[in-house]
């Protein structure tokens, strides 16, 4: 089943689960991928690139399960230009109501040199592989990787071949973020004008942000005739990332006067999925990030505040609620009840059942005893930190640290490992280092700490700290995260969370016994 689009509609192709996950350290678990895919489907994304099925058994399983569960979105898998990749991709997406195979090859001189293919040999390979993909599904996307650095005559030639072989979408990637808006528009315009059959397919744009122009380049391509934008939540992706979904969608909505194209995305669901992707990937959103950054709707300047009080439109071009930010000033505390908590969580996008509410309410009361006021961001952190720890092999049971300018920094830690308590006192360069050293001694491992980040959830000295930890072992990268009003406790739990995730990864990659 091929995608059709009207001239005023732009298809949103989200590749958070494929290109976004390729960002070093952004690996998601199987369940997290399914959750993000469901959120993307629910918010109205047209096409979800669910993964690269040939890459691993885990990727294949995730794409297949996402395909089975999809409701509205086209489910797409990526494949290189060979029959084995394409067959594996077809198998992964075949259960989707609307499956798509996305096959690609690098067409620029630099990429042709890697497999040592002549122009003619590559053209033949494109014809064979796209034809094979089209025999397996009616919806085939073909990408000329590094298109923006490919000779124009050759690019026209291979696109024509792909169209004749049955491709229904032609993607023009700016793979290394090299192009600029005017050049992006000119390229799309030239291809639509010159390539036979271009009027029968959808042209797509896939931009990277190496020079900070991904959003501008994508919108310029749309102005020139592209009708599919490839993007990710929060701009997640390799190097400087991909075009950010929230930026292009809101740009089209806010500036509809000069960009008269529509999307099907429910923008009120942007903030919730942005927060979730940040949490599962371990990549925090910068405070001044457009649309979803913490400061995107904050005003501190006296002139700005005065203007906002008189008329919000003086300094806001969109309303916070347009992207899912609540305007409520309701603050919860230790006297708040279950009904108030459930209502607030629902407003924040969390649909909690009775059993989950019971667990969350206990942890909410514990937090409220330590904090005078519990804000929205506290509740979000509480929900994100509410994973079921019952099945974790390692848990933090007790932690006491000694720190200061003169005393030796030390950590007295008790971990429960496989149901048995183990205690250790260790020293280090500060309380966090001492705590991590104690964990290392109680549960020896070779994983290397790649990232340690602390973010204050709210303002004030009683604010919760959200700690993110990224670890690597034999090429496997895992993340851990936890929140607590005690930064050292949050650090210990985040480190242990990463270790538990590492143990899960080890189990999944164990060779099967024969």
pLDDT reported for residue 233: 98
Q: 343: which residues sit within 8 A by CB, 6+ positions away?
A: none
Interval 302-326: pLDDT, tens:
433 344 344 455 546 888 889 988 6
pLDDT reported for residue 327: 56
Please report, for the chain, the start and end positions of each structural domain, with discontinuous segments joined by +: 11-281, 295-325, 327-386, 394-508
- In the annotated binding site, the residues are 19, 206, 208, 242
- In the annotated binding site for Mn(2+), the residues are 19, 206, 208, 242
For residue 32, what are the CA distances in angstroms to 50, 72, 387? 12, 19, 12
Is residue 328 over pLDDT 90?
A: no
For residue 238, what are the CA distances in angstroms to 77, 206, 235, 395? 18, 13, 10, 33
- Average pLDDT, rounded, for the chain: 88
- Dist CA 489 CA 498 (whole Å): 14
Fold of the CATH domain 394-508: Double Stranded RNA Binding Domain (3.30.160)
Was domain 11-281 assigned CATH 3.20.20.70? yes
Interval 80-134: pLDDT, tens:
999 999 999 999 999 999 999 999 999 999 999 988 899 999 999 999 999 999 9
Entry pTM: 0.81
HEC states along 95-113? Answer: CCCCEEEEEEEECCHHHHH
CB–CB of 500/507 below 8 Å? no
How confident is residue 280, by pLDDT bands cut at 50, 70 and 90? confident
Nearest to 111 by CA among 149, 162, 153: 149
Reported as type and span, the H/E element at residue 470 is strand 465-473
Burial 364-380, CB ≥16 within 10 A → b, else e: beebbeebeebbbbbbb
pLDDT reported for residue 2: 43
């Amino acid at each position: 089943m091929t995608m059709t689009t009207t001239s005023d509609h732009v298809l949103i192709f989200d590749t958070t689960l494929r290109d976004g996950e390729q960002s070093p350290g952004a690996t998601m678990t199987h369940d997290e991928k399914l959750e993000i895919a469901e959120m993307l489907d629910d918010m109205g994304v047209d096409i979800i690139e669910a993964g690269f099925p040939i890459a691993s058994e885990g990727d294949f399983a995730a794409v297949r399960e996402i395909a089975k569960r999809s409701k509205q979105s086209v489910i797409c898998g990526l494949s290189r230009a060979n029959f084995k990749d394409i067959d594996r991709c077809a198998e992964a997406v075949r259960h989707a109501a609307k499956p798509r195979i996305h096959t690609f090859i690098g067409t620029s001189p630099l990429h042709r040199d890697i497999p040592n293919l002549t122009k003619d040999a590559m053209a033949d390979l494109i014809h064979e592989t796209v034809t094979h993909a089209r025999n397996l599904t009616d919806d085939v996307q073909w990408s000329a990787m590094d298109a923006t650095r490919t000779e124009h005559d050759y690019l026209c030639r291979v696109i024509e071949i792909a169209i004749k072989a049955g491709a229904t979408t032609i993607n023009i990637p700016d793979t290394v973020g090299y192009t600029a808006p005017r050049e992006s528009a000119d390229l799309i315009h030239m291809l639509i004008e010159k390539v036979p059959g271009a009027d029968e397919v959808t042209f797509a744009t896939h931009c990277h942000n190496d020079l900070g122009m991904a959003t501008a380049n994508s919108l310029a391509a749309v102005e020139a005739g592209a009708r599919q934008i490839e993007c990710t939540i929060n701009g997640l992706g390799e190097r400087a990332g991909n075009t950010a979904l929230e930026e292009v969608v809101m740009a089209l909505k806010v500036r509809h006067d000069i960009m008269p194209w529509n999307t099907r995305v429910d923008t009120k669901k942007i903030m919730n999925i942005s927060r979730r992707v940040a949490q599962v990937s371990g990549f925090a959103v910068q405070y001044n990030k457009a649309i979803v950054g913490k400061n995107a709707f904050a005003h501190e300047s006296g002139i700005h505040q005065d203007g906002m009080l008189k008329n919000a439109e003086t300094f806001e071009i969109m309303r916070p609620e347009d992207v899912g930010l609540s305007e409520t000033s309701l603050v919860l505390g230790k006297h708040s009840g279950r009904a108030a908590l459930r209502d607030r969580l629902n407003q924040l996008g969390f649909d909690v059942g009775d059993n989950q509410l019971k667990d969350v309410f206990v942890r909410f009361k514990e937090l409220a005893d330590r904090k005078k006021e519990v804000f929205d961001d506290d509740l979000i952190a509480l929900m994100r930190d509410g994973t079921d720890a019952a099945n974790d092999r390692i848990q933090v049971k007790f932690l006491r640290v000694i720190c200061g300018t003169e005393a030796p920094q030390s950590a007295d830690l008790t971990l429960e490992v496989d149901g048995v308590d183990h205690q250790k006192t260790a020293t280090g360069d500060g309380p966090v280092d001492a705590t991590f050293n104690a964990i290392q001694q109680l549960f020896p491992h070779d994983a290397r700490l790649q990232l340690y980040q602390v973010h204050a959830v709210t303002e004030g000295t009683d604010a919760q700290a959200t700690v993110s930890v990224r670890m690597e072992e034999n090429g496997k990268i895992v993340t851990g995260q936890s929140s607590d009003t005690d930064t050292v406790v949050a650090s210990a739990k985040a480190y242990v969370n990463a270790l538990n995730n590492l143990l899960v990864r080890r189990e999944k990659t164990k060779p099967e016994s024969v």
